[in-house]
């Protein structure tokens, strides 16, 4: 998968720690992969999540949904595509597609809704300069 | 929260390993708590998930959804209620409510759809004697 | 295993998330179990680790060592014994023995050295009233 | 840090999931980083750990030791050097040095002893052709 202007791609290799005794990746790790992809998607804008925290903004996961289609396996290279599905002043919805690098097969799709909070976990608003850096992309796959 | 006939309850204490630098529980751990609750919900029927695996049946997560309402914090006691939302021959949908033990506040709700597979990850059917042990319960909270 | 005055015991059940594709518990989780045991060992004194943090004291792991003797397996009940091996003003050394509840077999032993720090990660001293609550115990097994 | 013939280097970025409420990386994750580094160290030989498993050889961690010197923090790039410290027919000892990429500071050192087992967790011997691929290196830092 190639990155487009509004969809970023990272590549990860499945580690032994992520497998379970079914011989596939344990389902909770996909949320961590989405987090890694989201962090890199933000970094591409020139503003990291660490920068946001320093400005007193926290993005906290308010909802997460994952659809598991094919199992990821030990030592596989996988790619995670990430994009902004929707953007409002108080929340950002990110979409994710997890693909097997070798075969290009879609392994999973996911969506997380991030709440814009301040340091005391109260609602906050996304600053306009930040919102501008996050173009909304059409879903490249059905979530 | 008390267990009813068809809704089980477990209690867990939040460990330091589950917190992140926001000072709250990292969102992926809720899926692990749901797994622990589901395992105990099955055990209550007299048949464990380990028994199912020995009979060649695997329950693999096909979809997961979590709504985070209030953050869980370090050293808090939390309760996870678990019940069967829906049952078909090839999949079981479990519901979860995660509550703060001290205050009784609802922290999160979740739903996971488990696919009934065989040892080779092909579709399988839930044996009738197993299905009988899993009564469907009405949601005790809105998911 | 029974708790003695100076050695505490907790019981845990191995969750699916802790297994790997070898069909046993992934080795890093033993450190988490030790953390859970240490937290409860402190709680027995009447003073929790959360209380210590509120007093501006942090215990940070400076060294950890685990010996794996027999694998822990999915759904097993395991016990973790914890005790203070040595105590100085700036560090506490905890010992751990991880046993299979059913057979009583020793699965692993561990040791962690905890540094006494302040909120800015500078060296601190353990207050005398805290040190008094932490009697040193002789190792119940060879570490 | 540059890789030498017998010492490999990988680079990782600290994810939010690896931090704890102290604002630093939770200590158990260092063992996972060592596992990632060890996997890549093996891959460099032309033979992956997955290949070894297919040949009926399992490397199971028999002992692990980590010394934490400076905390790793969120979003930091870190490097993990890995090398073979000692090699015998039934166990391989790996050494690790974890460095902060930006400053070059040593964050932690570690050692793990891997037991050579067969698929039934009985002792096995490392095949001569595999042993030849794993040259022993002198420790680049004091462990």
- Which CATH class, in words, describes the domain spanning C8-131? alpha beta
Beta-bridged to residue B110, according to DSSP, are B66, B96
Cβ distance of D16 and B21 shorter than 8 Å: yes
pTM over 0.95: yes
Contact at 8 Å (CB) between C2 and C47? no
Q: Would you call D20 a catalytic residue per the annotation?
A: yes
Beta-bridged to residue A109, according to DSSP, are A67, A97
Q: Which residue has the tokens 């040095």?
A: D97
Percent of chain D, pLDDT > 70? 98
Residues of D with CB under 8 A from a CB of B: 16-17, 19-24, 26, 28, 74
Cα separations (Å) of A11 from C131, D48, D110?
A: 48, 19, 27
Residue among C111, C107, C101 nearest C38 (CA): C111
Give CA–CA dist A125/A87, Å, rounded: 11
Cβ distance of D65 and C65 shorter than 8 Å: yes
E runs forming strands in chain C:
8-13, 58-68, 77-87, 91-100, 106-117
What is chain B's percent helix, strand, coil content, to nearest 5? Answer: 20, 40, 40
Q: In the prediction, which pLDDT does D51 show?
A: 94
Contacts of D74 in chain A (CB under 8 A): 50
Which of A15, A32, A50 has the CB atom closest to D35's CB atom? A15
Contact at 8 Å (CB) between A2 and A62? no
Nearest 5°: phi and psi at A66? -130, 135
Write out pLDDT tens, residues D39-89.
Answer: 999 999 889 999 999 999 999 999 999 999 999 999 999 999 999 999 999
Residues of chain A with pLDDT under 50: none
Residues of chain B with pLDDT under 50: none
Please report the ipTM that was assigned to this predicted complex: 0.96
Residue among B3, B13, B24, B6 nearest B100 (CA): B13
CA torsion B41-B42-B47-B53 (nearest 10°) is: -150
Write out pLDDT tens, residues C52-100.
Answer: 999 999 999 999 999 999 999 999 999 999 999 999 999 999 999 999 9
Q: In the prediction, which pLDDT does C1 show?
A: 61
- Catalytically annotated residues of A: 20
Cβ distance of D75 and A50 shorter than 8 Å: yes
Record the tokens describing residue C15, joined without a space. Answer: 């969750």
Residue ranges per structural domain of chain B: 8-131
Q: For every residue of chain A, which 3-state class applies, written as one string? A: CCCCCCCEEEEEECCHHHECCCCCECCCHHHHHHHHHHHHHHHHCCCCHHHHHHCCCEEEEEEEEEEECCCCCCCCEEEEEEEEEEECCCEEEEEEEEEECCCCCEEEEEEEEEEEECCCCCECCCCHHHHCCCCECCCCCCC
Give CA–CA dist A4/A82, Å, rounded: 10
Tell me the pLDDT band of D121, cut-offs 50, 70 and 90.
very high
Cα separations (Å) of D138 from D83, D85, D142?
A: 8, 7, 10
**CA nearest to D27 within chain C:** C61
Q: In the prediction, which pLDDT does C2 show?
A: 62
Question: What is the distance in angstroms between the Cα of B112 and the nearest Cα belonging to chain A?
Answer: 9
Q: In the prediction, which pLDDT does C88 show?
A: 96
Give CA–CA dist C113/D68, Å, rounded: 10
Q: For every residue of C55-81, which 3-state class applies, written as one string? A: CCCEEEEEEEEEEECCCCCCCCEEEEE
Contact at 8 Å (CB) between B86 and B62? no
Write out pLDDT tens, residues B36-45.
Answer: 999 999 999 8
Cβ distance of B75 and C17 shorter than 8 Å: no
Give CA–CA dist A43/C111, Å, rounded: 39
């Amino acid at each position: 998968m190639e990155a487009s202007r509004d969809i970023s791609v990272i590549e990860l290799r499945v580690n032994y720690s992520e497998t379970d005794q079914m011989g596939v990746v344990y389902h909770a790790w996909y949320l961590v992969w989405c987090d890694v992809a989201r962090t890199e998607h933000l970094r591409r804008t020139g503003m990291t999540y660490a920068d946001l925290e320093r400005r007193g903004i926290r993005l906290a996961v308010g909802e997460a949904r994952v659809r598991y289609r094919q199992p990821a396996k030990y030592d596989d290279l996988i790619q995670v595509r990430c994009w902004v599905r929707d953007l409002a002043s108080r929340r950002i919805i990110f979409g994710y597609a997890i693909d097997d690098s070798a075969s290009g097969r879609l392994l999973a799709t996911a969506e997380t809704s991030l709440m814009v909070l301040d340091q005391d976990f109260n609602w906050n608003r996304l600053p306009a300069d930040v919102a501008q850096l996050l173009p909304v992309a059409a879903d490249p796959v059905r979530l």
